Amino acid sequence: MTNLSLFSTLAVIIAFGVTALLGIVMIPWLRKIKFGQTIREDGPTWHLSKQGTPTMGGMMFIIGTVSAVSICFSLFAAIEGGETMLSIVKVVAGIGMALCMGIVGFMDDFISIKKKRNLGLTEKQKLILQFLIAGAYLLSVYLAGGTSKTLIPFVGEVDLGIFYYILALLFIVGMVNAVNFADGIDGLNSTVTCVNCLIMTVCAVIMGYYGMSIYASAAAGACIGFLVWNFHPAKVFMGDTGSLFLGGVVCALAFGMNIPVMLLLIGIVYIIEILSVVLQVSYFKITHGKRIFKMSPIHHHFEMCGWSEVKICVVFSLVSAVMGAIAILLIYFGL
């Protein structure tokens, strides 16, 4: 446990340092090659002042996370030993899934920038790629000895058989896109995901998933490093490159610990964000023009109500922390 604490802390430091320092070089470079954000015309009018802010900054914390996990998990496995093939594959495949999701986001961002409009890959193209990536991840874990069992609160470990993989595919793709919807104001996705990764670090330690603990710690550190540049007023945006990567990270951590159901608590902000969009669009179509929210995703609704971007980040992060604490208690007491 002492070595785990050491390497988890080291993962935070490395991920934070690499991500924060990359901003010194990468932000001017993104500005130089004119990789600026195209702001939605139907978004809050005051967001138009952010037009041209460098985007695709998610590359910074992608490099920070992967570097930290590669170094710290390798050292931990070499010193401690005892890591099974399954635990190693869960970390490696988990990083691989997040990276591939980030690549899909990169493609989307790149096309958007080249076309000078807030539209890259089509929804169909993104979904096909995301399902293929999620399928490859699940297959990798299965071939390494993974099972179709999952932990359900107040029920225990349940074997869902073939339905596990069908539900897992839908859940991963849905959650990755939900995390993407949480990106829309300065620092929101970074702060919420940082809190969620810290929560999952604690869950991993309690459950004995040491590789996942290092992975979650690295992701949390990278998010903090990115906030150096992304907190309001943001000097860089993560773009779909970053948000889809973070979605992959969150899913890899949850599935790596066999607790995807706990994401209904830990990832409550992501779920509310995507549900607000679904409800808004559905209600708009049914009522021929009426709206439930002033604007969706829901963080824009609170903006339209007069909340500052900082206040939204703080409140949403507190909601994540409270729900995450409940998840920790459920796991700790074996409920």
- Rg value, the chain, Cα: 19
What average pLDDT does the segment 273-293 reach? 92
What average pLDDT does the segment 289-294 reach? 90
pLDDT of residue 50: 65
Mean pLDDT of the chain: 91
Per-residue model confidence as pLDDT tens digits over 98-115: 999 999 999 998 888 877
Report pTM: 0.94
More confident residue, 221 or 157: 221
Per-residue model confidence as pLDDT tens digits over 28-76: 999 888 776 665 555 555 455 566 688 899 999 999 999 999 999 999 9
Domain extent listing, the chain: 79-212+233-332
- Three-state secondary structure of the chain: CHHHHHHHHHHHHHHHHHHHHHHHHHHHHHHHCCCECCCCCCCCHHHHHHCCCECCCHHHHHHHHHHHHHHHHHHHHHHHCCCCHHHHHHHHHHHHHHHHHHHHHHHHHHHHHHHCCCCCCCHHHHHHHHHHHHHHHHHHHHHCCCCCEEEECCCEEEECCHHHHHHHHHHHHHHHHHHHHCCCCCCHHHHHHHHHHHHHHHHHHHHCCHHHHHHHHHHHHHHHHHHHHHCCCCCCCCHHHHHHHHHHHHHHHHHHCCCHHHHHHHCHHHHHHHHHHHHHHHHHHHCCCCCCCCCCCHHHHHHHCCCCHHHHHHHHHHHHHHHHHHHHHHHHCCC
Per-residue model confidence as pLDDT tens digits over 142-152: 999 999 999 99
Q: How far is CA 235 from CA 10, 28, 283, 310, in A?
A: 27, 10, 36, 15
pLDDT of residue 305: 92
Is the Cβ–Cβ distance between 235 and 53 less than 8 Å?
Answer: yes
What average pLDDT does the segment 219-242 reach? 94
Banded pLDDT at 317 (limits 50, 70, 90) = very high
**Dist. CA 275–CA 182, nearest whole Å:** 11
Which residue's entry shows tokens 């924060």? 20
